[in-house]
Amino acid sequence: MLQVLCRYQHIWNINLRLRPAFLGGIMQATGNKPPALLPKRGEYMLKDMKRMAKYYQVPINISEDGLQHILGSSTLGAMRFITAVDMTQPQYVEPLSREFWIRFLSQQEDISQPENILAVAKKAGLSAELAQKLLEMISTPAVKNRLRETTEEAMKYGAFGMPAIVAHFNGEPHLFFGSDRIELLGSIIGEKWLGPVPSVPSPKM
């Protein structure tokens, strides 16, 4: 969903804002559980992720062991780091989110480790000095409170897991859950779905 939304932000009339939220907090507060904990659903989910990766042309390369690794990994440090970036250097939120996504879902890296967070930051274009400063911010009350507030706000809109989109249209919020709801989102906001990899229209002369 992240990759496709980023592709459509310059095609649809939308103002895309990426907001980090803590999935573990949402799952605990809503009583939700990872779908892959049910063996048959986990088996299906693994196959479906491979189909979705091919359809949406995103670099997901995951095995059964990789899926279990992801389910057992913490993303809290990464979400706090993105939060710190959003508070101070918001222009880096999109490339940083994309790089965390790739490393977590495609390479199954432990993105909770400081050295991996710094490597992600470098790949996203942050200087070593800035990245270190932001890393030091993740344990501050300001960052912790901002992430908590964003997570609570997501639940206020009805989020019970991730990925979740809240589209504000005609003065009303619309919640969409899951990675296959972009087409439905377009129909609600009056925009046309142009496939998973749309062509950016040429500027009018």
Q: What percent of the chain has pLDDT over 90?
A: 71
User: What pTM, to 2 d.p., does this model score?
Assistant: 0.90
Average pLDDT over residues 181-205: 84
**pLDDT tier at 59, thresholds 50, 70, 90:** confident
**Residue 130: is its pLDDT beyond 70?**
yes
Which pLDDT score, from 0 to 100, does residue 16 have?
A: 96
Q: Angle formed by the axes of helices 76-88 and 93-101, to 10°?
A: 160
Homologous superfamily of domain range 1-189: Glutaredoxin (3.40.30.10)
CB of 146 closer than 8 Å to CB of 87: yes
**Residue 142: is its pLDDT beyond 70?**
yes
